Structure 1
Amino acid sequence: MNIKWEGVMPAVTTKFTDQDTLDLQMFTTNIEAQLEAGVHGIILGGTLGEASTLTDAEKSTLVKTTVDIVDNKVPVIINIAEQSTKGAINAAKKAQEDGANGLMILPPMRYKAGDRETVVYFKEVAKNTDLPIMIYNNPVDYKIEVTLDMFEELLGVDNIQAVKESTRDISNITRIKNRFNDRLKILCGVDTLALESLLMGAQGWVAGLVCAFPKETVAIYELQKAGRIKEALAIYRWFLPLLELDINPKLVQNIKLAEVATGIGTENVRAPRLPLIGDERKMVLQIIENGIKTKPVLPDYKSLVSS
């Protein structure tokens, strides 16, 4: 499957049972809600997916399960976040065996690789898989920036095709467009900059709060694509307090609480994460409850024609 690298691609949460095993029943419920809302891809094993706590066997189960659920309707992409080049290559090969359609790849974990090391890391993984690749560029959280000069080298590799743009610098989208045109597809990776990024030329949105609010998220994307900016902006302004739950160290707990409130998730997280308590929990619940109480009426966004 070729990946267009556009539209809304949820970075889905991983569902756990009370016994700390994969909750594939609730996971299926959530994925089906995403598909019904009209998302354009599913991304597994990211930060929201609690990737650092998952075993290789669990990642494999998630890929195979998701491939079965989506039934070729949208691409299934898994995040690779490994400490070694060998580990990343092995993870890419396993993902391909399990039926994944694409990869999202972070720079090496733990070791702060230099520019040359980071470029070689990405190239080595790319040449050992046929899968299309989106580079996850998040220097704020992961302390390594993939610069435009580095992308200049990386784009010599055909299956490196997209970037999850999470630098928090909105002008970086224009720099990428000016330098690479559409050779490097751009997907915004920061919920609170999503509409701005799309209006500046990003083709897609790797979204977080979509996990709990899939229809509202897709509606924003489809409305702006159709040129109905005023309507997209109204929904986005309603959404912003919720979207801010994504740019927080407790984003996993926050978003899982929101999934509970909308009936498509549970609160279970894997230790060392723990469910929210006390005033922190009350504050997050208040934001979620207010958002649900004031939810906008959505237009028939699935039938819109692009401008």
Structure 2
Amino acid sequence: MSRSHPPPPGIYVPAVLFFDDNEEFDIPAIKAHILRLAKGGVTGIVVQGSNGEAQHLSHEERKQAISLTRQTLDDNGFQNVVIIAGCGAQSARETKKLCSDAADAGAAFVLVLTPSVWPNTMTLEAILRFHREWANIHPIVLQIADASPIPYMVYNFPTVTAGQDLDSDIIIALAAHPNIVGTKLSCGNVGKLHRITSTVPATQFSTLAGVSEILLQGLLSGSSGAIAALPNIVPKLHMKLYTLYKEGKIDEAMAIQAQLGQGDFATGKVGSIGGIKALVSKHFGYGGVKVRSPLLEATSTQLSGPHFAKLEELIALEKAL
């Protein structure tokens, strides 16, 4: 197997997915959101990420979300915006199917969580075998990274994987596979990020911060950028920081980083996915607040107070760019 290329460096957004009152896709709102993100300059969009409520979608809906995103980007002159598809599932068999579907629907990369239903069985050997096998044990059954028709990224998010937190040794071992080309670190561990970037070259393996609150710190430690939820609200502000970093204007970038750190924290306080949808709907004129059960819509209490005000300050900065 020849070596696959990692995604281009930059800012990626795990896009929220909008629903109508019947919890069906709100296609005009989904398109409007994709276009606002693209016009904001983001490098790519993650479809079916945690913020996209992937676990609440059928296989057909997951394919539809990817193809709708690709078509919307292509029809509006954003062919260079990259699509990464979240393809995690609780079995290797289903994950391989999702990877194949993602490729057929127009994704360029897949992003895969480690299974979490039986966390006590997920030993080092089990984790490595789940993501990559190289046909050493079961030569007829390819594991996911071998079978995926498009390049593969490992998603480390302890909050949604029953506390499983892949350490730098595991991720570096996985990076040796020719089709594993990156990782998203939603653990927010800058030390882990730096250990990976100082061991595996960015030309071979893309290490991406998973939260905005360490975007600049990650870049200074060798990351390729970030996949983070907050750009759903303020994509231009993230791209402004990224540009300042590339220009060597670190003090100016750090001033924006301080704002993003406040905003990342505030997002969790206003209802996370539900809060993001409420803010986008209020300030950008599309979409609604519906989420699929068991998620809850943001409450009126969450959508008030100092944390909500902090996010509205960020939106004012966004609109001024």
TM-score by length of 1: 0.89
Q: Which of 23, 33, 46 is the matching residue for 1:30?
A: 33
Aligned to 2:311: 288
Aligned to 1:272: 294
Deviation of 1:116 after TM superposition, in Å, equals 1.0
Q: Does 1:211 align with 2:246?
A: no
User: Is the alpha carbon distance of 1:236 and 1:38 closer, same or farther for their aligned partners in structure 2, counting shifts above 3 Å?
Assistant: same
Q: Which of 112, 131, 150 is the matching residue for 1:131?
A: 150
| Cα distance in 2 for residues equivalent to 1:226 and 1:172 | 26
Q: 284-293 or 149-158, which moves further after superposition?
A: 284-293
| Cα distance in 1 for residues equivalent to 2:47 and 2:184 | 14
| Cα distance in 2 for residues equivalent to 1:240 and 1:152 | 28
Aligned to 1:192: 213
Q: Which of 197, 200, 211 is the matching residue for 1:180?
A: 200
Aligned to 1:146: 166
Deviation of 1:197 after TM superposition, in Å, equals 1.0
User: Is the alpha carbon distance of 1:248 and 1:172 closer, same or farther for their aligned partners in structure 2, counting shifts above 3 Å?
Assistant: farther
Structure 1 residues not aligned, in runs of 5+: 299-307
Deviation of 1:7 after TM superposition, in Å, equals 0.2
Aligned to 1:96: 103
Deviation of 1:69 after TM superposition, in Å, equals 1.5
| Cα distance in 2 for residues equivalent to 1:22 and 1:239 | 30
User: Is the alpha carbon distance of 1:27 and 1:150 closer, same or farther for their aligned partners in structure 2, counting shifts above 3 Å?
Assistant: same
User: Is the alpha carbon distance of 1:48 and 1:133 closer, same or farther for their aligned partners in structure 2, counting shifts above 3 Å?
Assistant: same
Deviation of 1:11 after TM superposition, in Å, equals 0.6
Structure 2 residues not aligned, in runs of 5+: 133-142
| Cα distance in 2 for residues equivalent to 1:104 and 1:42 | 12
SS in 1 for 2:46: strand
Please give the residue correspondences for 1:241-280 in structure 2 after superposition, counting only pairs within 5 Å. 241-247=262-268, 250-263=271-284, 264-280=286-302
Is the contact made by 1:31 and 1:69 (CA closer than 8 Å) also made in structure 2? yes
Aligned to 2:137: none
Q: Does 1:159 align with 2:179?
A: yes
Aligned to 2:43: 40
- 1:64-108 CA-to-partner distances (Å, cap 9, x unmatched) read 111112223222111112111111111111111212111011001
Q: Does 1:86 align with 2:93?
A: yes
Q: Output the amino acid matched with 2:109.
A: G
Deviation of 1:115 after TM superposition, in Å, equals 1.4
Q: Does 1:118 align with 2:140?
A: no
Deviation of 1:109 after TM superposition, in Å, equals 3.2
Deviation of 1:24 after TM superposition, in Å, equals 1.2
| Cα distance in 1 for residues equivalent to 2:153 and 2:124 | 18
- 1:122-161 CA-to-partner distances (Å, cap 9, x unmatched) read 1111111221111111234422222333234323321101
User: Is the alpha carbon distance of 1:287 and 1:54 closer, same or farther for their aligned partners in structure 2, counting shifts above 3 Å?
Assistant: same
Q: Does 1:16 align with 2:23?
A: no
Is the contact made by 2:233 and 2:315 (CA closer than 8 Å) also made in structure 1? no
Aligned to 1:67: 70
SS in 1 for 2:266: helix
| Cα distance in 1 for residues equivalent to 2:173 and 2:190 | 23
Is the contact made by 1:83 and 1:111 (CA closer than 8 Å) also made in structure 2? no
Instruction: Report % sequence identity.
Output: 24
TM-score by length of 2: 0.86
Q: Output the amino acid matched with 1:126.
A: A
User: Is the alpha carbon distance of 1:227 and 1:23 closer, same or farther for their aligned partners in structure 2, counting shifts above 3 Å?
Assistant: same
Q: Output the amino acid matched with 1:199.
A: L
SS in 1 for 2:302: helix
| Cα distance in 1 for residues equivalent to 2:264 and 2:18 | 20
- 1:204-226 CA-to-partner distances (Å, cap 9, x unmatched) read 11021111111111111111112
Q: 218-227 or 246-255, which moves further after superposition?
A: 246-255
Q: 21-30 or 259-268, which moves further after superposition?
A: 259-268
